[in-house]
Structure 1
Amino acid sequence: MISKTEERVDPRRHPLLTLVKRIESRVLLVLLAVAGALWLFLGLADEVTDGDTADLDRRLLLAFRNPVDINDPVGPRTLEESLRDITALGGFTVLTIVTVVAAMAFLFHRKRLHAAVLVGAVVLAQVSNSLAKALVDRPRPDLVSHGSYVYSASFPSGHSALSAATYLTLAMLVASLETRRRAKFTAYALAVLIVVSVGLSRVYLGVHWPSDVLGGWVFGAAWSLLAWLVLLRLGARPATPTD
């Protein structure tokens, strides 16, 4: 008679095998999401280049303007100043500080892979976004006066793309280490709130067309998804939710 301790374990129910299958499923889903984001971005870039988004861009941009004076954004001056502060959250200086501090925090907790994934995603997003701007070479909006200084081409929005790549990747990395579902949700919710606010501020300040911002969001999200894919492929085991 065979004791319970001597019974053979069904390999299909082995915890390690189950984990591998889950990771493989996630990798496939993330890979499909990356492909979808890139397809959407290229399609939008083609529409922008052909001028097919011009009418909708103008309508949406003017929706943020005083009908009497289109050079005056809607709302009080304090709102305009507040949105300048928000738009800075997607600027090079702030994102560099966020990336460096977050990477140092990961290293302090001996999470070298997480630090490398974050820095890699942000740097590659910055370089590729500059390249995309040069290739599309779309002029900045000339319909209204600009509420912020600009130095480069319009599509895709660098603030939108880099804020998405930085904050969404950081939220993903934090969520991969966090066991509480509420904490995971909070990380993603804060990241999405910042990314959306930065993008809308660019349109409000008249420095980007809405399609520039949409293109930036998709472009940055694609890099964040790629960062997640790298994390999964390199064997980082996600924390098991506890509540």
Structure 2
Amino acid sequence: MSNAGPPSPELRDPSRRSGSAAVNDTGADAQGSDDSHRGPRARPWWLAPALTGVLSAALLAFMTWQVVERGFVIDWDWPFHEYVDARQPEGVARELLDGVASLGGQRLYTLPIVVAVGVWVAWKQRKIRVLIAVGSGLATVFFIGYWIKFSLARTAPHTGMDILHGDGQAFPSGHTANATLTWFLIATILFGAHGWRPDRRRFRQATVAACVIVFLAGALMALLDYHWLSDIPGGWLLGALALSVANAVLRVRLPWPILDWPSTRSSQRH
């Protein structure tokens, strides 16, 4: 005759066994309240995006004010325009440089790229979070960027005059903003902490590559005389603001819905 008594609470409820804990989509431990005192408290998830977002927004507002007031930020715009305008490349060299600048930051090319990468990562992770992050970043560039552009209506260098409320949308550079958001966000959703395959080494490498592309795209837009010199850092700051919004979406701790894709096996059975 067996002397075995009723199973212990640990056997009846596996979640109560030693070392087991339910983990939700945000990676937060269900027993976090009990373990919070065991180590140093982690920084709030919103701190980094908030700091970078506030800093980017403040600097962008300062540059916008300088453009309106014709401050020292735009002092080099006209001399730089006169210098590069007299030295514009022609022929194949011009077409090649135009192509590089367009691939780096023109929305016609960057939008399909970042959306395609976002869809692929969402499919791999089976989570909609990445798509919302991409959409929020793109929306930030679009609405804030065009709000400033239409409000200032700054003419482009090729018109031969630098006036506000004219026929132009020079400040801030949309190409540069698109490049900043696109390439840094791709590096983040691929190899960042909440990306497809988190890897610090690959993330650093991808970030360096993004820096090169973003700098090259912005420099070419000024050197080819499509934008004033001050338009370029304005675009970088707008892109950084949009990237902060996208990073906040990636970091926020919400129960994101799981995308239940139909498996190949189940489709073959039916």
Deviation, 1:152, is: 4.6
Residue number among 215, 219, 237 corresponding to 1:218 in the alignment:
237
How far did residue 58 of structure 1 move? 2.0
Q: Which runs of no fewer than 5 residues in structure 2 stay unpaired? A: 1-17, 19-33, 162-166, 256-270
Residue 101 and residue 140 in structure 1: after superposition, are their counterparts in 2 closer, same or farther (change >3 A)?
Answer: same
- Once the two structures are TM-superposed, the CA of residue 235 in structure 1 deviates from its matched residue by 5.4
- Aligned partner of 1:209 among 215, 220, 228: 228
Give 2:145's aligned residue: 129
Q: Secondary structure at the match of 2:235?
A: helix
Q: State the Cα distance separating 1:107 from its structure 2 match.
A: 2.6
Give the AA of the match of 1:116. I
Alignment partner for residue 228 of structure 1, among 219, 244, 247? 247
The CA deviation at 1:37 is 0.8
Report the 3-state secondary structure (helix = DSSP H, G, I; strand = E; otherwise coil) of the residue aligned with 1:22: coil
1:40 aligns with 2:59: yes
Counterparts of 1:101 and 1:28 in 2: how far apart (Å)?
Answer: 29
Are 1:82 and 2:96 matched, yes or no?
yes
Alpha-carbon distance change, 56 to 143 in structure 1, aligned in 2, over 3 angstroms: farther
Equivalent-residue separation in structure 1 for 2:90 and 2:155 (angstroms): 28
Which sits farther off after the overlay, 33-42 or 175-184?
175-184
Partner AA of 1:87 in structure 2: A
The normalised TM-score by structure 1 is 0.77
Task: Give the counterpart of 1:13 among 15, 27, 38.
Answer: 38
- Kept in 2, the 8 Å contact 1:103–1:116? The answer is no
Q: For each residue in 1:134-155, what CA deviation from the matched residue of structure 2 results, as whole angstroms up to 9, or x when unmatched?
A: 112111114769xxxxx95110
How far the C-alpha of 1:179 sits from its partner, in A, is 3.4
- Contact 1:99–1:118 under 8 Å retained in 2: yes
C-alpha deviation, 1:55, in angstroms: 2.8
Residue identity over aligned pairs, in percent, reads 22
CA distance in 2, matches of 1:224, 1:10: 32
Do the aligned residues in 2 keep the contact of 1:118 with 1:170 (CA within 8 Å)? no
Give runs of aligned pairs for residues 54-69 of structure 1, distance below 5 A. 54-65=74-85
CA distance in 1 between counterparts of 2:143 and 2:36 reads 46
Counterpart for residue 157 of structure 1:
173
Structure showing greater Rg: 2
1:22 corresponds in structure 2 to 42
Q: What RMSD, in angstroms, separates the aligned Cα atoms of the two structures? A: 2.6
**TM-score of the superposed pair, with normalisation by structure 2:** 0.70
How far apart are 1:11 and its partner, in Å?
4.2
The answer for the alignment partner of 2:154 in structure 1 is 138
Aligned-partner residue type, residue 81 of structure 1: E
Structure 1 range deviating more: 87-96 or 99-108: 99-108
Match of 1:106 in 2: 121
CA distance in 1, matches of 2:83, 2:231: 16
Aligned residue pairs, count? 212
Please report how far the alpha carbon of residue 184 of structure 1 lies from its aligned counterpart in structure 2 after TM superposition: 0.6
Secondary structure of the corresponding residue to residue 121 of structure 1? helix
Q: Deviations over 1:93-121 (max 9, x none)?
A: 10221123112212321242112211221
Task: Give distance in 2, aligned partners of 1:54 and 1:124.
Answer: 25
User: Deviations for 1:50-96, whole angstroms, at most 9, x for unmatched residues?
Assistant: 1223431123334445xxxx1x32x6754432220112121121022
Comparing 215-224 with 113-122, greater Cα deviation is found at 113-122
Moved over 6 A (4+): none
Name the structure 1 match of 2:182. Answer: 166
- Which structure has the highest helix share of the two? 1
Task: Provide the residue aligned with 2:261 in structure 1.
Answer: none
